[in-house]
Amino acid sequence: MEDVGTLKVEALARRIRRMNPLVEIVACSRSITDMSTCEQDELASGVDLVIAGTDQFTAQAAINEMAVRLEIPAVFIGIHAQGSGGRVVWTIPRETGCYRCVAAERYAAAENQNPDQPLDLSAMVGCLIDGQFIDLIALKVAVAILERGRDSAYGRFYQRMKGRNDILVRCHPEYEWGRLMWDALLADLPKNPKDYATELQAEAILAMDSLWLKGAVDPNCPVCATQRPQRAQVQRALAAYQAGRSNQ
């Protein structure tokens, strides 16, 4: 109750200070979409990680462009329908695709916006337990990104992720997208001597689970493709080599 009426950034700063008074916090209560690129650069230059805790598409797109421009790793957290599920996307410039590559369908939906289907789900009310489960997965990824390259538990976890940067989280059996994903993944399981997929769905998996998928990399992405000159060079060299071989 003590946070009611306080800006989120200030309430969060207060909470972090209470947990660890040694942390230095600069709370900035401005909309990222209202800031010029210079202001964004000033805010974010030198930071190790950006966490986009917003469901607003225009803010996510602005944060993605900023993260790519400044070459900062970023974690995007999305909580879907009443917290029954969600999606965590993480990006590292030059290593993974950017948010636009991974969540291309959100950009397509923004371009063909249908007034009956709002892109931004405002004030998505759900159970705190489900929201926190999705946030905890994002937090695990955030720590792994910060520990990458180190021989620590989370550094090794980062290696084990192998670039799987599109994480689908199901909190509740009613989460339709999660069920579709599981159906697709389990579809190839043998039907003999028993129907393994049906048995898993009915007896083993239910809720609080996650799928860790490798997000798409769009070679022509208008946001991050120019950041991948080396990859493009390698692709061009490979294409030239293959063309030369097929001519022989």
- Map tokens 């995007």 to a residue: 76
159 to 188, contacts with Zn ion by CB under 5 A? none
Part in contact with Zn ion (CB under 5 A); list of ranges 35-43, 165-173, 191-199, 213-221: 213-221
56, amino acid identity: Q
Alpha-carbon distances, residue 39 vs 13, 43, 100, 220, 244 (angstroms)? 21, 6, 22, 28, 49
- Candidate residues 89, 101, 137, 167; the one interacting with Zn ion per rule CB under 5 A: 101
CB-wise, 52 or 171, nearer to Zn ion?
A: 52
Residues 145 and 157: their CA atoms lie apart, in Å, by 9
In the complex, minimum distance from the CB of residue 213 to Zn ion, in angstroms, rounded to a whole number: 16
Closer of 100 and 148 to Zn ion (Cβ): 100
63 binds Zn ion (CB under 5 A): no
- Of 92 and 171, the one with the shorter C-beta distance to Zn ion is 92
CB of 86 or CB of 97, closer to Zn ion: 97
Contact 88, 134 (CB under 8 A): yes
User: Which two three-digit tokens encode residue 190?
Assistant: 């043998």
SS (H, E, C) 129-171: HHHHHHHHHHHHHHHHHHCCCCCCHHHHHHHHHCCCCEEEEEC
Q: Provide, rounded to whole angstroms, the least separation between the CB of residue 215 and Zn ion.
A: 10
Residue 106 binding Zn ion, by CB under 5 A: no
Instruction: Give the residues lining the site for Zn ion (CB under 5 A).
Output: 97-98, 100-101, 221, 223-224
